Structure 1
């Protein structure tokens, strides 16, 4: 149903606040149909006294409501009885006359009530739709506000950790606090961007491009280029979006921090593609590569341990190896 049809139906019945006008129009429609019946009387065979009256009653009930519909039914019925039911012009009432009149009364009463009930059901449906739309709008607003507050709170906690590290003398503790603050700030940003009020799946391609741009901008090395090649049809469940984004962010941060430690330029390539029942996400760089005899299982890096743990929680695996630069690969079930 287009907007024009819906707007027309919403205004029915017409003249709801001017009932005398509605009843007058009902009588006028009945008289017009009576004149039409006279005009075609010689063109139709005998036995159809109500031929033009049924449409008049239904149209009147549809446009002006139940009351005017009954007025039209009464006017049309009287006209048919007087002018088209033999003996014509006598208002004679016998068995032969009563049966057509009873049939007419039953048919028009059912028609009017059906039109009335359908219009009431439609109006109730419209009210429920409006109510649902208001609830959906309110829910969406509350959800956005909640997301905004959660993200802001995470950012505040990250800022507090950054302030706290100033009072810590131990270098390792300071580094740990700084790393925790960075991750909390990143989670807050991811949380704001990825979640949808409708709980729908996340198109990960555009997010990866924004994430790469943000990480490079935060690194202070604008010469590093991040390219993303992603199948746009691939989407992530909201519950998996944040862990995947954290793994990608950790891999990109390692490439920037270690692969390009002594360089101001470089290239990070992110590739997301589907292989039958699996989704493969590869983050590679052309940096210094991994240390000799690198073993991810024996590495003490907190970030790598977090990435490996998150991948296992998602039912996948995380790998890190050297191929003319570091290559991080996350494999997840579809």
Structure 2
């Protein structure tokens, strides 16, 4: 976060032009060059101009000085140029005497240069305000990103802590069924914690399904401890990930992969799992987890199975208004069909 004193010091609305503020010598040099150039140019074109144009070369000097150096220096140049024009080019020449026509010309000059200086000043204020607002927006966006990352990190850490507590509690449970249940609960909590880190990118935008599934599958294989298992992702038609469906989708894919590793590759050190994502018609998305393992046993049915993971996958699919099936054959295919 930017300190308030630092923010005020950098506020473009209260800053002056660097040359005028920090190097007045350079500003004086610029003013002198603009005034003398305007005066010499006016003398050079004097013979070719009709009467009534005493200020024609002085207006650019006023505009440039106001734009480059600010209102104060522009006003000073306007006064100097006005006096020079009055003395040298408004009759009676070489005099500050003023006739009625000269008064009208001088009034016209004052009106024009005052309008020019005011317009340039307002434009500079508007540009400074715009730069200031852009800087504030940039700081807010940076702060939002930092807070989002911190929140994402804390949620994930809290889930990982809960998973660790369950693992510690398992040591006090002697029943094998209870220990296995605590192991599964700890694994699922740890998985949800990792999912929360992967759900959004650094800018806070949701990822596509293909981007989301790649690290998820790598995590599941790594957590299994089976170094011979290979997992590949094939995305035929990617689609943006619905944030509300991310965790259920990830759990279904993770349960399907865990089921393949535990049962499909039973008594095997190596195997291949393929996660395939594609559209199924106009309104559906199909995610398939295919393995080259042992396949389903004869007469297998999800409804009759006592696998908690498969029951969870079926329930989560129903919550997403989709369906989850296991298809036998050469290996096993876990198929999830969801509304697009």
Same fold (TM over 0.5): yes
Q: Any conservation in 2 of the 1:16–1:64 contact (CA below 8 Å)?
A: no
Alignment of 1:235-254 (within 5 A): 235-254=240-259
In 1, the alpha carbon distance for the partners of 2:238 and 2:38 equals: 60
The structural deviation recorded for 1:146 is 2.4
Task: Determine if the alignment matches structure 1 residue 120 to structure 2 residue 120.
Answer: no
Show the counterpart of 1:76: 81
Question: 2:48 and 2:284 mapped to 1: Cα distance?
Answer: 75
Tell me the equivalent position of 2:6. none
Q: Does 1:325 align with 2:331?
A: yes
What CA deviation, in whole Å up to 9, does each residue of 1:122-157 have, x standing for no partner?
223323333333333233223222222221221111
Q: Residue 3 of structure 1 aligns with which residue? A: none
**Displacement after TM superposition at 1:228 (Å):** 0.7
- Name the TM-score, length of structure 2 as normaliser: 0.86
Quick check: 1:147–1:192 contact (8 Å CA) kept in 2? yes
- Secondary structure in 2 aligned to 1:202? coil
Distance (whole Å) between structure 2 residues aligned to residue 222 and residue 174 of structure 1: 24
* Correspondence for 1:168 among 161, 165, 173: 173
What is aligned with 2:312?
A: 306
Residue segments in structure 2 that go unaligned for 5+ positions in a row: 1-11
User: Which residues of structure 1 form unaligned runs of 5+?
Assistant: 1-6
Aligned 8 A contact 2:264 2:332 in 1: yes
- Checking the alignment, whether the CA contact within 8 Å between 1:223 and 1:264 is kept in structure 2 is yes
CA displacement, residues 254-280 of structure 1 (integer Å, 9 cap, x when unaligned): 111111112111211111123433322
Q: 1:45 to 1:163 in 2, by over 3 A?
A: same
Give the corresponding residue for 1:61.
66
User: In 2, distance between residues paired with 1:197 and 1:157?
Assistant: 25
Determine whether 1:178 maps to 2:211.
Answer: no
Please say if residues 33 and 53 of structure 1, whose CA atoms lie closer than 8 Å, have aligned partners that are also in contact.
yes
Question: 1:232-271 alignment to 2 at 5 Å?
Answer: 234-271=239-276
- Equivalent residue of 2:19, what SS? coil
Pair 1:104-2:109 in alignment: yes
Aligned partners of 1:13 and 1:62 also within 8 Å: no
Quote how far apart the aligned CAs of 1:52 are: 2.0
Number of residue pairs the alignment of both structures matches: 326
- Alpha-carbon separation, structure 1, partners of 2:246 and 2:324: 15
Partner of 1:142: 147
What does the per-residue CA deviation read over 1:223-270, in whole Å, with 9 as the maximum and x for residues that have no partner? 222111125853213333222222211111111111111211121111
How much has 1:18 moved relative to structure 2? Answer: 4.6
**CA root-mean-square deviation:** 2.6
Deviation at residue 20 of structure 1 after TM alignment: 6.6
Q: Following superposition of structure 1 onto structure 2, how do residues 146-295 of structure 1 map, counting pairs within 5 Å?
A: 146-196=151-201, 198-231=203-236, 234-274=239-279, 275-295=281-301
Encode CA deviations 1:88-117: one digit per residue, 9 max, x unaligned.
Answer: 334443442223322221221122122222
